[in-house]
Structure 1
Amino acid sequence: MRVLVWIAPGTWPAAVAAAQQRPADDDLLLVAVDDPQEALPAGALLGLMGRGRPPAGAPGLTTQEARALLDQAAEALGRPCRTQVLSGPTERVITAAAVDADRLIISRDGDRSRLGPSSLGHHARFIIDHAPCTVELIWPESIPGLGTIPPLPGR
């Protein structure tokens, strides 16, 4: 099976952990995105390498930062894989890359303190809505309890 794994700042360790559970004969492709419209300030990647989560609306990676993140993710994966830096609008290039995949592994990139649609950032929401393959959606941290679901409107 061809599996595409989106390696994104702040949530990539969960995506890598899910990829580690895939069968040994799966063809794993780890991708990170250089999105010129969302460039990070110099040196900002150091704070995003899996420690905590980036603030909502955090900017994207440069090509060099994306390559460094992929190298770290591939090492953490600990098994053969391919890596690729994609360039362009994040949600568009991930969705396009999924055309050649049987499965796409992504992590929630929004508010992960409660269940609900806000746990998906705009990139993940677009990708899930448009992916041309099966999507495996991962919680990067522990899953919030059912008590975090908002009440029905008017109650």
Structure 2
Amino acid sequence: MRVITWLVEGTWPACVDAVRTHAPHASDVVLLHVSGPEVPAVAHGAFVGLLGRGRAERDPGDLLTDLGGTSAAELLEAAAARLGRPCTRMERRGRVEREVVAAAEDADLLVLARDGDRERLGPHSLGPAARFAVDHAPCAVLLVWPEAAPDLTTMPPPPPPHHR
């Protein structure tokens, strides 16, 4: 069984714990971190557009890209230690939601955490990237709460009865 575990800062421990609990020990586990282009691109755009007279070696976009790579490596290292069994670490860059789906192409299971409103049950508990991954994953999906799930009383009310 090939298991892709999408790691995101703040929610990754729940995903790793879910793999430890639900994936057979003989599984081929891949710890995946995806860095999106948004923050470095904004910094680079500001540097070029607003500060256009700067030298290229001072481009904050490049610095943020480098810092993001260091942060991703540290997160993957911590996740591998928490998993406590052999795994592959994978770093990808690009549109996060699409990179996650592409990484799951040959997987049997994709593990990810809810990344939206975690105060109540319902569809808003998934942010846009997680919703895209859930909707487009080419494999089974294990969706976990990063902390204890909210109480059932937080569920939206049912729609009103339909009269004919």
Please give the per-residue CA displacement for 1:77-119, whole angstroms capped at 9, x wherever unaligned: 1111110111101001000010011100001011111000110
2:68 corresponds to 1:67: no
Q: Which residue of 1 aligns with 2:129?
A: 123
Q: Which deviates the most, 61-70 or 106-115?
A: 61-70
Uncovered stretches (5+) of structure 1, i.e. residues with no partner: 40-59
Alignment RMSD, CA only? 2.2
The amino acid that maps onto 1:29 is V
Q: 1:1-155, aligned counterparts within 5 Å?
A: 1-21=1-21, 22-39=23-40, 62-153=68-159
Contact residue 35 and residue 62 of structure 1 kept, 8 A: no
For residues 124 and 38 of structure 1, what CA distance do their matches in structure 2 show? Answer: 19
For residues 107 and 33 of structure 1, what CA distance do their matches in structure 2 show? Answer: 14
SS in 1 for 2:92: strand
For residues 137 and 150 of structure 1, what CA distance do their matches in structure 2 show? Answer: 19
- The offset of 1:68, in angstroms, is 1.1
The amino acid that maps onto 2:78 is Q
For residues 115 and 73 of structure 1, what CA distance do their matches in structure 2 show? Answer: 27
Contact residue 107 and residue 140 of structure 1 kept, 8 A: yes
Bigger proportion of residues as helix: 2
Contact residue 33 and residue 63 of structure 1 kept, 8 A: no
SS in 1 for 2:5: strand
Uncovered stretches (5+) of structure 2, i.e. residues with no partner: 41-64
- The offset of 1:153, in angstroms, is 4.9
Q: TM-score, normalised by structure 1?
A: 0.82
